[in-house]
Amino acid sequence: MQIKLLVEGGEMKPGPVLSQKLGPAGIPINDVIKKVNESTQNFTGLKVPVELDIDLKTKDIVIKVLSPPVSELLKKELGAEKGSGDHKEIKIANASIEQIISVAKTKLPDLLSKDLKAAVKTVLGSCVSLGVLVENKSPKEIIDEIDKGKYDSEISGEKIETSEEKRKELDEYFTKIEIEQEKILKQKAVEAAEEQKPEENEEEKKE
């Protein structure tokens, strides 16, 4: 029997899905949870795909831990708790190409990408939906630049370290973006408040 799960690294807890499948088979759920948590403790704070291969006769369990989804790896790399609820207007981070390469290297074995460059473009695709800028630009612009060979040296050299100077420049640019986003959110809040004013205000205007 095979069971596929998505668990919190090192912090899996009992749940109905596991109980329904393991209970009838007579397999101690707490033992399984302990083994899964031991196997995923290096992924604390991330959601991790786990496959359980269980021999119902011998009760032997083989645990296979897959690398976390690209979105989870990106959030950890960027120190973000969640993605943007409106990725077209609200951005959550400004990544360096080196950070994107780092995530792509981690995920490459699980991707269908033929090489690291293709994996980098896959990660950039996830940046779009999360609301992540890359090198002060939209991820789609970076993909176009990669196709033109702009980041060939960084990708072929598997460069994953961002210089302090570059990190500072990216952060300064993003601070400006955050200020603009804050203005947009405040304006939307004002507009929403205006729309929700009591109807009697309309009556007062008529009088």
- Residues ≥6 apart with Cβ < 8 Å to 33: 12, 13, 14, 18
Residue whose entry in the numeric block shows the structure tokens 């088979």: 25
Claim to verify: residue 74 and residue 61 sit in the same structural domain: no
The share of the chain scoring above pLDDT 90, in percent, equals 41
Residue 84 has pLDDT above 50, yes or no: yes
pLDDT digits (tens, 9 = 90+) for 25-69: 778 888 888 888 988 888 888 888 889 888 878 888 888 888 888
The segment with the largest mean pLDDT, out of 44-48, 80-84, 155-159, is 155-159
pLDDT at 200: 46
Say which CATH number the domain at 141 has.
1.10.10.250
Say if CB 166 and CB 94 are below 8 A apart: no
pTM as predicted: 0.74
Provide the number of structural domains found in the chain: 2
For the residues 169-192, what does the mean pLDDT come to? 90
Say if residue 117 is in the same domain as residue 152.
yes
Domain with 35 in it: 2-65
Q: Which residue has the higher pLDDT, 198 or 138?
A: 138
According to the model, what pLDDT value does residue 23 have?
78
- Whether 47 is covered by a domain: the verdict is yes
Asked whether the predicted pLDDT for residue 206 surpasses 60, the reply is no
Same domain, 170 and 100: yes
Residue (of 134, 153, 154, 131) closest to 144 by Cα position: 134
56 and 81 fall within a common domain: no
Kindly report, residue by residue over 182-199, the tens digit of the pLDDT.
Answer: 888 888 888 888 887 765
Are 148 and 174 in a shared domain?
A: yes
Same domain, 108 and 26: no
